[in-house]
Amino acid sequence: MSKIIANNLNLWYSAFHALKSINLAFEEKRITAIIGPSGCGKSTLLRVFNRMNDLIEGVRLEGEARIDSENILGGNFDDLVRLRKKVGMVFQRPNPFPLSVYENITFGLKVHHLAKKKDFDAIVQEALESVMLWKDLKDKLRKNALGLSLEQKQRLCIARCIAVKPDILLMDEPCSALDPQATLKIEELMQKLKKDYTIVIVTHSMQQAARVSDDAGFMLLGELVEFGKTVQVFTAPKDKRTEEYITGRYG
Amino acid sequence: MKLRQIKEFVIEKLIFLSGIASILFVVLIFVFLLKEGIAFFREVPAKDFIGGKYWYPISDPERFGILPLILGSLLVTFGAILVSVPVSIACAFYISEVAPVKLKDILKTGIEMLAAIPSVVLGFIGMTTLVPWVKKIFHLPTGLTALSGSIMLGLMAMPTIISISEDAINAVPKSYKEGALALGATRWQAMYRVVIHAALPGIIAASMLGIGRVIGETMAVMMITGNAAVIPQTFLQPVRTLTATIAAEMGETVHGSNHYYSLFAIGIILFVLTFIINITADMFLHRNKK
């Protein structure tokens, strides 16, 4: 059974038809990349899976989206909180809270009452170690997170998600604010995290998709044009539009 | 070419002059205040002035102790903070985070308009509605109390505090809230665990500015606090503030007398108090910008 499934999923922003009959199945503990030109709906699709689209007025959804075969659309308030605990999200611009490094990581623990105060230290260390920040920050846990470098901030945001033990990490162009070197390091981190998490990454860098992902989907104008193994999508695309995009004739 | 140069020169100097003039006026006011007030301290030592418990400026011998007045001002101000700050912050949060967009605009404009109500009108309203009400509820001989003053001044400070706090909350990047919600926080958790932290310097600055207005306020307090120059014990008794003292007595004093100069000295004390508050507010606002 696939981890994430969508059946005939449609989404409208008021009158604008942003996602058109999407069908997909993402596998567990793999990195799935969604590529496509700006405005193709790839971020919107990503935000279906943790229902961040709920925040926007006038959004209407039809069809079906399932995680672990449980319908994630609809459901009550508790279901929504549970969903977002299970599905972490990393944003385009690193957005650590204006709190200390320590408080950034314990935020989710407090919100979900996941651990006792006395266990916080261990969890913070574990989370920072998993994103390879512990060595750099172990003496700066009480410092404000806004003082970190961009790369450190993005790692901290990943650590913040990991601390609540999600199953899935959604990454919305997580490297677009970073320089090439920091980008490579975050990509290395993703490879390491793949062992424990199902990762879905939206990117408009095709090279990045080719480097990090196992599966890839190509979106255009709200449609999922092609989906398959990354190697296949990039070397032997079945759809002409995919071929045109990856050879640089679009966007 | 020549004409244009002259024009440039004249305009530049005019702008410079008007800029300098505003600073100059403030400095002149301060110098005047100091000059008139300092003379007084030659007659009465500052220690006796600030620490003295009795304010009998026209009895014989005269006594110039402003401790009751300072405490009166501080008590009324403290009460006003208790009344205005929590409500204002809640209101600012409501406007920026909860209220629907249409209502938001109406509320914001409405509240900013409230700031324009002349204080004498508020004093009048307080006198006719609030004062009898306080008298009845607490079974007091008079409703002209520190409590009435605090409530009225609290209401006066609210528009300032709400409006500036709301700006501060609005200036918090949306990404903080998104991040919190994406971690599974509820709207309320996102607000009080993250947004309020980010907006805190602005909210503190807003409160300070509101308080600055309260301390300097004269007309409304004079009308509803009872003006008894005694050291206050509770909120339910009449008090007299520094500002009300100056306003009430300046018209009746003999020009050049000790009493006359003592009022200027009170002015200096008041100036120092508001100056400290404004500087503190400024520091917080500045920290916010960084």
pLDDT per residue over A183-219, tens digit each? 888 899 899 889 999 999 999 888 899 999 999 999 9
Helix ranges (DSSP H) in A95-237:
101-112, 120-130, 134-137, 150-162, 180-193, 206-212, 230-235
Give the lowest-confidence range in A59-73, A125-139, A236-250, B164-178.
A236-250
Best of B98, B169, B178, B183 to disrupt the A interface (most A CBs within 10 Å) is: B183
Phi, psi for residue A75 in degrees, rounded to 5: 80, 160
Give whole-number Cα distances, A42 to A19, A173, B65, in Å.
9, 10, 74
Distance from CA of B179 to the nearest CA of A (A): 7
In order along its 290 residues, chain B shows pLDDT tens digits of 688 899 999 999 999 999 999 999 989 988 988 888 888 888 888 888 888 888 888 777 888 888 999 999 999 999 999 999 999 999 999 998 888 888 999 999 999 898 888 888 988 999 999 999 989 998 888 889 999 999 999 999 999 999 999 999 999 998 999 999 999 898 888 988 899 888 988 898 899 888 888 888 888 888 898 888 888 888 888 899 999 999 988 888 888 888 888 898 999 999 888 888 888 878 877 765 54
pLDDT band for A249, please (50, 70, 90 cuts): low
Contact predicate B157/B92, CB 8 Å: no
Specify the fold of B55-289.
MetI-like fold (1.10.3720)
Architecture of domain A4-246: 3-Layer(aba) Sandwich (3.40)
Residues 119-148 of chain A with CB under 8 A from chain B are none
Q: Which two tokens stand for residue B95?
A: 């406007």
Which chain B residues are within 8 Å of A83, Cβ to Cβ? 184
Residues 6+ apart with CB under 8 A from B131: B143, B144, B148, B224
Asked whether residue A68 carries a pLDDT value surpassing 80, the answer given is yes
Contact predicate A246/A234, CB 8 Å: yes
CA angle A83, A86, A87 (to 5 degrees): 85
Asked whether residue A76 carries a pLDDT value surpassing 80, the answer given is no
Which chain B residues are within 8 Å of A160, Cβ to Cβ? 179, 183
The residue ranges of DSSP E strands in chain B, in sequence order, are: 55-56, 63-64
Eight-state DSSP code of residue B254:
P
Measure the N-to-C terminal CA separation of chain A; round to a whole number of Å. Answer: 35
Question: What pLDDT is attached to residue B79?
Answer: 94
Question: What pLDDT is attached to residue B141?
Answer: 87
How much is the mean pLDDT over chain A? 89
B186 contacts A85? CB cut-off 8 A: no
What gap in Å lies between CA A234 and CA A206, rounded to an integer?
9
A91 contacts B182? CB cut-off 8 A: yes
Distance from CA of B281 to the nearest CA of A (A): 21
Residues 6+ apart with CB under 8 A from B68: B53, B54, B55, B229, B230, B231, B232, B239, B240
Distance from CA of B174 to the nearest CA of A (A): 10
* Average pLDDT score over residue span A78-90: 89
Which chain B residues are within 8 Å of A93, Cβ to Cβ? 175
Q: Please count the other Cβ atoms lying within 10 Å of the Cβ belonging to residue B118.
A: 10
B183 contacts A85? CB cut-off 8 A: yes
Which chain B residues are within 8 Å of A82, Cβ to Cβ? 184
Q: What is the pTM of this model?
A: 0.78
pLDDT band for A87, please (50, 70, 90 cuts): very high
A107 contacts B184? CB cut-off 8 A: no
Q: Tell me whether A157 touches chain B (CB under 8 Å).
A: yes
Question: What pLDDT is attached to residue B39?
Answer: 81
Question: What pLDDT is attached to residue B290?
Answer: 46
Residue from the list A81, A96, A157 with its beta carbon closest to the beta carbon of B184 = A81
Contact predicate A160/A90, CB 8 Å: no
Cα within 13 Å of Cα(B281), Cβ side: 20
Which chain B residues are within 8 Å of A88, Cβ to Cβ? 182-183
Q: Label each residue of chain B as H, E or C.
A: CHHHHHHHHHHHHHHHHHHHHHHHHHHHHHHHHHHHHHHHHHHCCHHHHHHCCCEECCCCCCEECCHHHHHHHHHHHHHHHHHHHHHHHHHHHHHHHHCCHHHHHHHHHHHHHHCCCCHHHHHHHHHHHHHHHHHHHHCCCCCCCHHHHHHHHHHHHHHHHHHHHHHHHHCCCHHHHHHHHHCCCCHHHHHHHHHHHHHHHHHHHHHHHHHHHHHHCCHHHHHHCECCCCCCCCCCCCECCHHHHHHHHCCCCCCCCHHHHHHHHHHHHHHHHHHHHHHHHHHHHHHHHC
- Asked if the ipTM is above 0.95, the reply is no
Question: What pLDDT is attached to residue B1?
Answer: 67
Read off the amino acid at residue A105.
I
Strand partners, B175: none
A85 contacts B181? CB cut-off 8 A: no
Which chain A residues are within 8 Å of B175, Cβ to Cβ? 91, 93, 95
Q: Which residue of B has its CA nearest to A170?
A: B182
